[in-house]
Amino acid sequence: MKVNIIKSNIELFITCRGEVKILNKYFRIYALVIIILILVSQVVHTDQENNSGYIGYDPYFLNSFDVDISKKNVVLKIDDDKLTFNGEYILCNQTDKTVEVILGLPYDDVEDLIILDKNNPLKFFWRNFSYIENNYIFEHLPKADKWSIVSIWLKANESRVIRISYQSQTTNDSKGIYTLTYMNNAEPNNSSNSKAYIVFNDFKPYNAINVSNIEVEKVHYNQGLNLLFDIDNNGRAARIDYELTDKLAIDRLSFATSSKLKNISNLYGLKDYDAVILLCDEYINNPSDNSVDINQVKYVKSEAYRNLTKFDNYFEVIESLDLNKLYPYRLKYKILLDVYRILNGKAYNSDLATIIVSIQNDLQESNEFFSEWMVQNKIIHDDIDITLDMEKEETRKEGVLNKYAERLKLDTVGKFLKDNWYIYLISVLFIFLIGFLLGRKFGKKKTNPPYYTFRR
């Protein structure tokens, strides 16, 4: 008996120990998975925080202060997320001796870099920041990972034109926002000799979210061509945060699970707008993807109508939209500008006018660049409030007239009965007589016994 008890206890101990080992094994696996997820999330978060977009610089003098820049002309051209830099600098030797100047360009992710001296390409070298730190005065230099350095010899009091060009690419963050910063670090003594422009090709003003150190009065826009930012000559960095609003709206359908929504996005990219409208109607009647709001599909349909210049259909769809459910939320600013261009600032009905007024009010309360740009360019629906007031007044008048007409009818009937009381009395007696006769006819007792009788 004791032997059996001991044996069973040993088996129970072994079983429990095995289960503990299994639990420890799974616990280690789970702990490892959690640690990996935490590390990945931290890396992603750090990457998003460090994603400062494109940062462009003028060249720095690394070894000499005897040379300065007497004139510069810089143009940054942007096509969506692609950037082209073209800078022209006039270097001036202020001394009576020949000097060597070493220029440093702190540029990351640069392609096709070309440095020209009298239209002749100069040989440059790539260096990391440690090299710059160990060999040159670096106290006021940016800590860029990569530098390109070039050596130029200038004779006494000589001036030389140096041209720099390259290609680069801006990156967006998790919200689809691109950031472009031009440091504007080289300023001639005479500020009138400093010209710097940021030019967005085929750029819409509502794409610009925030603009720093650029006066709105110096922003020029050619519809369908470009948006030009004239940078202030104050030596301060200029920054622009922007998104590709139109592209984000269409791409929203590309990331849907519904194949029909993906087809709509593809057909829109191919500019087959008739097919887009057809598929949008089919999907609206039978939606299948909860991740995409139906208003997003309606918006794409409205854009197809607008591109086909079927503006009546376009306005009809716009009036049915819930603007607060569109992605991105700034898409309503695009609608505001499109409607203005089509109607030249005049809303032809109260429903459309109400929509435009709501967008304008929302825009005026924001601090976005587009709001200032609209005011500066006098692009505002000034007559919409008047249109709404006129329509409200007409509606009020129509309501008053209807009430007056109804009252007039009642007064007319009352006056007629008052003047012709005897006709009213005869009518009442006649109706009473008819009712009395009908009552006597249908109210007589039946003389015939019923077919079924009950016997006791």
pLDDT in tens, 397-433: 444 445 444 544 555 555 555 566 666 677 777 777 7
| DSSP class of 82 | E
**DSSP helix/strand/coil, 128:** strand
- pLDDT on residue 377: 78
What's the pLDDT score for residue 308? 97
Identify the helix (H) or strand (E) that includes residue 166: strand 159-169
| pLDDT value for 224 | 62
Task: Enter the tokens of residue 34.
Answer: 């959690």
pLDDT, tens digit, for every residue of 236-255?
899 999 999 999 999 999 99
pLDDT for position 39: 47
The confidence score (pLDDT) of residue 42 equals 46
152 by Cβ neighbours in 10 Å (0-12 / 13-18 / 19+) ranks as middle
β-bridge pairing 54-56 and 178-182: parallel
CA-to-CA distance for 318 and 338, rounded, in angstroms?
Answer: 11
pTM: 0.69
Distance CA 63, CA 335 (A): 54
Residues 46-64: pLDDT tens digits? Answer: 443 445 789 999 999 998 7
Q: Judge contact between 213 and 87, C-beta under 8 A.
A: no
Residues of the chain with pLDDT under 70: 1-51, 223-224, 345-348, 367, 380-424, 436, 439-456
| pLDDT (0 to 100) of residue 114 | 95
| Angstrom distance (rounded) from CA 429 to CA 418 | 17
Whole-number pLDDT of residue 370: 86
Paired residues of 128 in beta bridges = 146
Tell me, what's the pLDDT at 397? Answer: 43
For 213: left if phi > 0, alpha if psi spans -120 to 50, otherwise beta; the answer is left
